[in-house]
């Protein structure tokens, strides 16, 4: 006899029927509508039929409004727009954000083959450009809020193409369509700095010098990032704007 294995836990989130609405319409000229509410028992069968109450109607309306708000919340601000946001294109399909971050200490992770110990190190000021599925990053020479004319420098990290596009490798990106702009930028920064740096893209170093030696020194010493070694890209901030 074959053994039966319960695999329902592998299906993801399970939803159980809680209630049901049945709409009745009269066959008169004015087409009057009557709504009946049913509770559901543990087997999913309708019970306790009764006219839809005002309280139940209000709860239903609130749930529908909340769901609609989720669908239109993508890249909207959760409050006052943060000062580090430079540009927002809030489309649900082609939404994108450009923002900047100041020089700061970040956790950095490196694969064992690079010979760089994972740890905290200072990184330069950065400009980020992201959609739901892709990320570009650049470095900044100073600490001021960039303008359209600000020169962008190659980000001094591994796994980044010459045009600033980040290869996320096996990292699973899951940006929610209900994400406000604060959640969106925080999520991308988390994905970037929590992924493992593994290799240089192309033949050229993104800095003036050896990238491996740079990060070995910065992780070990804790000193500020030496911006003099940054390499200029062919972009200004204006080039990133749509």
The closest alpha carbon to 46, from 86, 80, 19, 76, belongs to 19
Task: Please give the Cα distance from 52 to 22 (Å, whole number).
Answer: 9
**Domain-by-domain residue ranges, the chain?**
8-72, 85-240
Is pLDDT above 50 for 145? yes
pLDDT (average), residues 66-88: 70
Is pLDDT above 60 for 21? yes
Is pLDDT above 70 for 64? no
Task: Please give the Cα distance from 197 to 109 (Å, whole number).
Answer: 6
What are 157-177's pLDDT values in tens digits? Answer: 999 999 999 998 778 888 887
pLDDT (average), residues 57-86: 65
Task: Please give the Cα distance from 121 to 107 (Å, whole number).
Answer: 7
Spell out the alpha helix ranges (H) of the chain.
Answer: 54-72, 181-194, 211-221
Is pLDDT above 50 for 233? yes
pLDDT (average), residues 219-241: 96
Task: Please give the Cα distance from 125 to 183 (Å, whole number).
Answer: 20
Percent of the chain with pLDDT over 90: 52
| Helix (H/G/I), strand (E/B), else coil: 95 | coil
Is pLDDT above 80 for 33? no
Cβ neighbours of residue 13 closer than 8 Å, sequence gap 6 or more: none
Q: What are the structure tokens assigned to 215, written together? A: 């990060």
Q: What are the structure tokens assigned to 52, written together? A: 């839809």
Neighbouring C-beta atoms of residue 121, cutoff 10 Å: 22
Q: Is the pTM of this model over 0.85?
A: no
Is pLDDT above 60 for 72? no
What integer best gives the mean pLDDT of the chain?
84
What are 99-114's pLDDT values in tens digits? Answer: 999 999 999 999 999 9
């Amino acid at each position: 006899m074959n053994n039966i294995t319960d695999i329902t836990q592998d299906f993801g989130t399970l939803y159980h029927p809680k209630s049901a609405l049945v709409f009745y319409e009269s066959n008169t000229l004015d087409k009057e509508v009557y709504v009946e509410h049913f509770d559901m028992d543990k087997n999913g069968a309708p019970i306790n039929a009764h006219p839809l109450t005002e309280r139940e109607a209000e709860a239903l309306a609130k749930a529908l409004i909340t769901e609609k708000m989720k669908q239109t919340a993508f890249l909207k601000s959760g409050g006052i727009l943060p000062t580090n946001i430079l540009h927002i294109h809030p489309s649900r399909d082609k939404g994108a954000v450009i923002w900047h971050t100041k020089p700061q200490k970040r956790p950095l992770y490196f694969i064992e083959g690079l010979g760089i110990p994972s740890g905290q190190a200072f990184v330069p000021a950065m400009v980020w450009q992201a959609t739901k599925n892709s990320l570009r990053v650049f470095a900044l020479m100073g600490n001021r809020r960039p303008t359209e004319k600000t020169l962008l420098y190659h980000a001094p990290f591994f796994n980044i193409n010459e045009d600033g596009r980040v290869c996320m490798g096996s990292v699973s990106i899951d940006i929610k369509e209900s994400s406000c702009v604060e959640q969106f930028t925080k999520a991308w920064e988390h994905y970037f700095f929590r992924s493992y740096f593994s290799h240089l893209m192309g033949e050229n170093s993104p800095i003036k010098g050896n990238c491996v030696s740079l990060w070995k020194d910065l992780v070990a010493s804790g000193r500020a990032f030496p911006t003099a070694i940054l390499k200029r890209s062919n972009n200004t901030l204006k080039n990133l704007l749509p």
